[in-house]
Structure 1
Amino acid sequence: MNLHKLILTNNACYKAGRTITPKGIMVHSTGANNPNLKRYIGPDDGLLGKNQYGNHWNQTTPDGRQVCVHGFIGKLADGSIATYQTLPWNMRGWHCGSGAKGSGNDTHIGFEICEDGLTDASYFSALYKEAVELCVYLCKQFNLTEKDIICHCEGYKLGIASNHGDVMHWFPKHGKSMDSFRAEVKAGLASSAPAEPTTPKKYYRVQVGAYSVKANADAMLSKVKAAGFTDAFVKYSE
C-alpha cells in the first residue's frame, strides 16, 4: 500500500470535530471520470500535482456540498497509484448521506476510489489491490474483520446510507464483487497475522566449582573458556 496523509482541515466536516468508534468500513467510488487524486485533495504536496480549478475538497463545502471521506485512492501526478488519508480514521465523516439514511457516518470509515471510464482493466486492478490492502490495514487498526466491510450500495440496502450504486456498477465489469473483495481482505489478514508465540526456552546452568579465593575461581574460568565454554562466568555470593 502506498499510503500518504493530507488531512482536509478546511473542510467543515473536519472542523465539526466529531469522533466515532469505527464499527466497519464503507467502500465508495467517485462517480466521475477523473482518476486523479488532485481533483479531490489539495493543496499540492509535490506528489499530487496542482488542481488548476481549485475544486478539491479541502474547503468548507466542496462543490457546495457537505461531503468528506477518510481517504481516497487514485493517481498521483506521475501516474502511480496511491492512498491518501484525508480525515483522522476515528473522525465522523460525511460519506453516507444525511439524516436517518446517513447513519453509517456514525459507525463506518469511508473511502473513495477515483473512477476512470470504468473500462481500463490495468487501472482497476491496481486500485482494487490498493483498496484491499487499505482495508487489511484498517481492520488491523480497529480490530475489524472482512465481515465488517460493505460498499455504498450495500449500505443503502441496510438502511444506513443514501441511494447510490457504488461500487457495484464498476466491480462486476472486471469480474469482481464485494464478496470477492471481502474474501481477498480475509486472505490478506490471514497472511499478515502474527506468528503463534513460541514456547520460551528453558536453560539449565551447571556450576563447576566454588572457591573462597578469587584467583582460584579466575583460573578455573580460564580453563573452562579454553575448553570452548565461552559463556562461562564467575558469580560472587556471600
Structure 2
Amino acid sequence: MNLHQLILTNNDCYKAGKAIVPKGIMVHSTGANNPNLKRYVGPDDGLLGINQYGNHWNTATPGGRQVCVHAFIGKLKDGTIATYQTLPWNMRGWHGGGSSNNTHIGFEICEDGLTDASYFSAVYKEAVELCVYLCKQYGLTEKNIICHCEGYKQGIASNHGDVMHWFPKHGKSMDTFRTDVKAGLAAAEVPVEPEAPTTSKKYYRVQLGAFSVKANADAMLTKVKAAGFTDAFVKYSE
C-alpha cells in the first residue's frame, strides 16, 4: 500500500469533529471519469499535482455538498497509484448518507472510464491492502466490509450503486473483495520463524608433553603423527 496523508481541514465535516468507534468499512467509487487524486485531494503536496480548478474537497462544502470521506485511492501526477487519508480514521465522515456514517470508515476509489483493466487491478489491490490495514488497526474482519450499494440494501446508506457497476466488469465482486481481504489478513498473521541462534564452537586441546629441549619435542611430534594424529603441532611458550 502506498499510503499518504492530507487531512481535509477546511471541510465542514472535519470542522464538525465528531468521533466514532469504527465498526466497519464502506467502499465507494467516485462515479466520474477522473482517476486523478488531485481532483479530490488538495492542495498539491508535490506528489498530487495542481488542481487548476481548485474544486478538490478541501473546502467547506465541495460542489455545494456536505461530503467527506476518510480516504481516496487513485493516481498521483506521475501515474502511480496511492491512497490518501483525508480524515482521521475515527472521525465521523459524510459518505454513506445514513447511519453508516456513525459506524463505518468510508473511502472512495477514483473511477476512470471503467474499462482499463490495468488501472482497475492496481486500485483494487490498493483497496484490499487499505482494508487489511484498517481491519488490523480496529479489530475488524472481512465480514465488516461492505460497499455503498450493499449499505443501501441494509438500510444504512443512501441509494447508490457503487461499486457494483464497476467491479463485475473486471470479474470482481464484493464477495471476491472480502475473500482477498481475508487472505491478506491471514498472510499478515503467519508467524516469522526466528533464526536459530548461532553458538560459537568450543575446542578442547590435548597436550602430550612439555619439553625443554626442542629435539625431544620434535621427536614426540614425529611419533604422534606416525600414529595418525596429523593435526598435531609443536607450540613454543615461555
TM bin, normalised by shorter chain, reads: 0.7 to 0.9
Question: What amino acid is aligned across from residue 48 of structure 2 in structure 1?
Answer: L
SS of structure 2 residue aligned to 1:192 = helix
**What does 1:100-179 correspond to in 2, within 5 Å?**
102-179=98-175
1:118-155 Cα deviation digits (max 9, x unpaired): 00000000000000000000000000000000000000
Instruction: Provide the alpha-carbon RMSD of the alignment.
Output: 1.6
Deviation at 1:226, TM superposition (A): 7.6
Q: Which residue is equivalent to 1:6?
A: 6
Q: Which residue is equivalent to 1:221?
A: none
Identical counterparts, % of pairs:
82
Deviation at 1:56, TM superposition (A): 0.2
Q: Which residue is equivalent to 1:182?
A: 178
Deviation at 1:184, TM superposition (A): 0.2
Question: What amino acid is aligned across from residue 145 of structure 2 in structure 1?
Answer: I
- Alignment gaps of 5+ in structure 1: 202-224, 229-238
Counterparts of 1:89 and 1:8 in 2: how far apart (Å)? Answer: 12
Q: Which residue is equivalent to 1:62?
A: 62
Q: Which residue is equivalent to 2:73?
A: 73
Counterparts of 1:172 and 1:19 in 2: how far apart (Å)? Answer: 34
Counterparts of 1:17 and 1:73 in 2: how far apart (Å)? Answer: 23
Q: Which residue is equivalent to 2:83?
A: 83
SS of structure 1 residue aligned to 2:95 = coil
Deviation at 1:187, TM superposition (A): 0.2
Q: Which residue is equivalent to 1:28?
A: 28
Counterparts of 1:226 and 1:120 in 2: how far apart (Å)? Answer: 66
SS of structure 2 residue aligned to 1:95 = coil
Q: Which residue is equivalent to 1:236?
A: none
Q: Which residue is equivalent to 1:206?
A: none
How many equivalent pairs are there?
199
1:51-72 Cα deviation digits (max 9, x unpaired): 0000000010000000000000
Deviation at 1:227, TM superposition (A): 4.5
